[in-house]
Structure 1
Amino acid sequence: MGVSTSRPQPAVAVVTVSYPPVNALPVQGWRDLAEAVRAAGRDPEVRCVVLAAEGRGFNAGVDIKEVQRDPGRTAIIGANRGCYEAFAAVYECEVPVVAAVQGHCLGGGIGLVGNADAIVASEDAYFGLPELDRGALGAATHLARLVPQHLMRTLYYTSRTVTAAELHRHGSVWEVVPRDQLADTALRLAGEMATKDGALIRMAKAAINGIDPVDVRRSYRFEQGFTFEANLSGLADRIRDTNSMNGSGKEGGDSRG
C-alpha cells in the first residue's frame, strides 16, 4: 500500500498509487504522490512519466474517513494542502505526464488527470466530481480542462459522471482500450514521447504550461477556500451525515479535491 515508482522501459518512469480498496488517499498519500512525481520529473534519465493506479479504480479522492476522525481541522487542512501539492506536481512535472485511468476517477482523481498532459483510459473508466454530495467544493478547475464549460457546470451541479468514451469524443482522452491493454497503451504513448530529446521535451513542457489561459494553481486554491469554509461552518458534516443516512454514497471514501 502506498506510492511506488518503477522504470519498465528506458526514459519512462511509472508512478503507481495503491490504497485499497478504492484508492481514497490519506493526507500522507497525497504528499507521497507529489514527491514521487516531482522526483521522477527531476531525473535527467526520464523523459515521460506515467501516473497509474492498482485496483478496481484509479482514484476516489481524499480519504474522507480520515477527515471525519479528526475532531479538529488538522486533517482537512492537510488534505487541502496535499491535494494542492499533488495536482501541482503533475502539472509542473518537468516532463509530460500520461495518466492511465481504470474504473472510477472521482474527486481528487479529476485534479490529477485534469493536470496531466495526456490521458488513456480503460473502457470501464468513468470520471466525475461528486463534491456537492460530500459537502465539499473543488477541482472544477481541472474538470474544465476535460470538458466544455457548460458541460463542466452541469456535471458539477448534478454530481453526475461521464465515461471514458464520452471524454474521448471531447478530445480529452487520447485512447480508450480494454482494461487488460491499459498499461501497455500508456507505456506505448509514453515511449513515443520519450523518444524526443530530453532537454527539448522539458522546454516544450515549460512552454505549453506558460501559454495556458488559466493559472491552475491559483484557480484551484480559490476553490479550496470554499471547501474549508464548508467544513469550518459544519455544513460539510451535515451534508455527509444526511447522504450517509440516505444511502446516497458513491464509490470510495471521498469526493473532494
Structure 2
Amino acid sequence: MGVSTSVPDDGIALVTVAFPPVNALPVQGWYDLAEAVREAGADAEVRCVVLAAEGRGFNAGVDIKELQRDSGHQALIGANRGCYEAFAAVYECAVPVVAAVQGHCLGGGIGLAGNADAIVAAEDATFGLPELDRGALGAATHLARLVPQHLMRALYYTSRTATAAELHRHGSVWQVVPAAHLRASALELAREIAAKDGTLIRLAKAAINGIDPVDVRRSYRFEQGFTFEANLSGVADRVRDTFGTDKTDKADADKEQQT
C-alpha cells in the first residue's frame, strides 16, 4: 500500500498509487505522491511519467474518515495542502505526465487527471466532482480543463459524472481502451513521447505551461479558501455526516472522497 515508482521502459517512470479499497488517499499519501512525481521529473533519464493506480478505481479523493477522526482542523489543513502539492507536482513535472485512469476518478482524482498532459482511460472510467454531496468544494479548476465551462458547472452543481467516452468526444481523453489494455496503452503513448529528445521535451513542457490561460495553482488555492470556510461554518460537517446514508447514493458510499 502506498506510492511506488518503477521504470518499465527506457525514459519512462511509472508512478503507481495503491490505497485500497478505493484509492481515497490519506494526508501523507498526497505528499508521497507529490514527492514521487517530482523526483521522477527531476531524473535526467526520464522523458515521460505515467501516473497509474492499482484496484478498481484511479482515485476517490481524500480519505473522509481521516477527517472525521480529527476533532480539530489539522487533517483538513493537511489534506488541503497535500492535494495542492500533488496537483501542482503533476502540472509542474518537468516532463509530460500521462494519466492512466480506470474506474472512478473523483474529487482529488480530477485534480490529478486534469493537471496531467494526456489521459488514457479505460472504458469503465467515470469522472466527476461529488464534492457538494461530501461537504466540500474544490477542483473545479481541473474539471474545467476536461470539459467545456457550462458542462463543468452542471456536473459540479449536480455531482454527476461523465464517462471516458464523453470526455473523449470533448478531446480531453486521448484514448479509451478496454480495462485490460489500459496500462499497456498508457505506456505505448509514453514511449512515443519518450522517444523525443530529452532536453527538447522539457522545453516543450515549460513552454506549454507558460501559455496556459489559467494559473492552476492560484485558481485551485482560491477554491480551497471556500472549502475551509465551509468547514469553519459547520456546513461541511453537517453534509459530511450524512455521507453514505442516502439509499440513492449507496453505490458510492465506499468512495471516501473529498477534495
TM superposition score normalised by structure 2: 0.97
- Where do residues 125-136 of structure 1 align in structure 2 (5 Å cutoff)? 125-136=125-136
Give the deviation of 1:233 after TM superposition: 1.4
Aligned to 1:27: 27
Residues 126, 161 of structure 1: 8 Å contact kept:
yes
Q: How far does the alpha carbon of each residue in 1:48-91 deviate from its partner, in whole angstroms, 9 at most, with x for none?
A: 00000000000000000000000010000000000000000000
RMSD between superposed Cα atoms in Å: 0.9
Give the deviation of 1:253 after TM superposition: 3.9
Aligned residue pairs total 257
- Of the structure 1 ranges 241-250 and 54-63, higher mean CA displacement relative to structure 2 is found in 241-250
Q: How far does the alpha carbon of each residue in 1:163-214 deviate from its partner, in whole angstroms, 9 at most, with x for none?
A: 0000000000000000110011000000000011101100000000000000
Aligned to 1:196: 196
- Where do residues 7-18 of structure 1 align in structure 2 (5 Å cutoff)? 7-18=7-18
Aligned to 2:138: 138
TM superposition score normalised by structure 1: 0.98
Give the deviation of 1:30 after TM superposition: 0.2
Aligned to 2:102: 102
- Where do residues 80-91 of structure 1 align in structure 2 (5 Å cutoff)? 80-91=80-91
Residues 40, 49 of structure 2: 8 Å contact kept:
yes
Q: How far does the alpha carbon of each residue in 1:88-110 deviate from its partner, in whole angstroms, 9 at most, with x for none?
A: 00000000000000000000000
Counterpart of 1:90, as a letter, is: V
Task: Determine the C-alpha separation between the residues in 2 that align with 1:7 and 1:243.
Answer: 39
Unpaired segments of 5 or more residues in structure 2?
none
Relative to structure 1, the CA distance from residue 6 to residue 68 in structure 2 (aligned partners, 3 Å threshold; closer, same or farther) is: same
Q: How far does the alpha carbon of each residue in 1:194-252 deviate from its partner, in whole angstroms, 9 at most, with x for none?
A: 01110110000000000000000000000001111111111111012234433435254
Task: Determine the C-alpha separation between the residues in 2 that align with 1:16 and 1:99.
Answer: 10
Q: How far does the alpha carbon of each residue in 1:134-173 deviate from its partner, in whole angstroms, 9 at most, with x for none?
A: 0100000000000000000000000000000000000000
Task: Determine the C-alpha separation between the residues in 2 that align with 1:195 and 1:251.
Answer: 43
Aligned to 1:256: 258
The question of 1:205 aligning with 2:205 is answered yes
Q: Secondary structure at the match of 2:258?
A: coil
Task: Determine the C-alpha separation between the residues in 2 that align with 1:158 and 1:232.
Answer: 23
Unpaired segments of 5 or more residues in structure 1?
none
Task: Determine the C-alpha separation between the residues in 1 that align with 2:239 and 2:205.
Answer: 40
Counterpart of 2:23, as a letter, is: N
Residues 147, 172 of structure 1: 8 Å contact kept:
yes
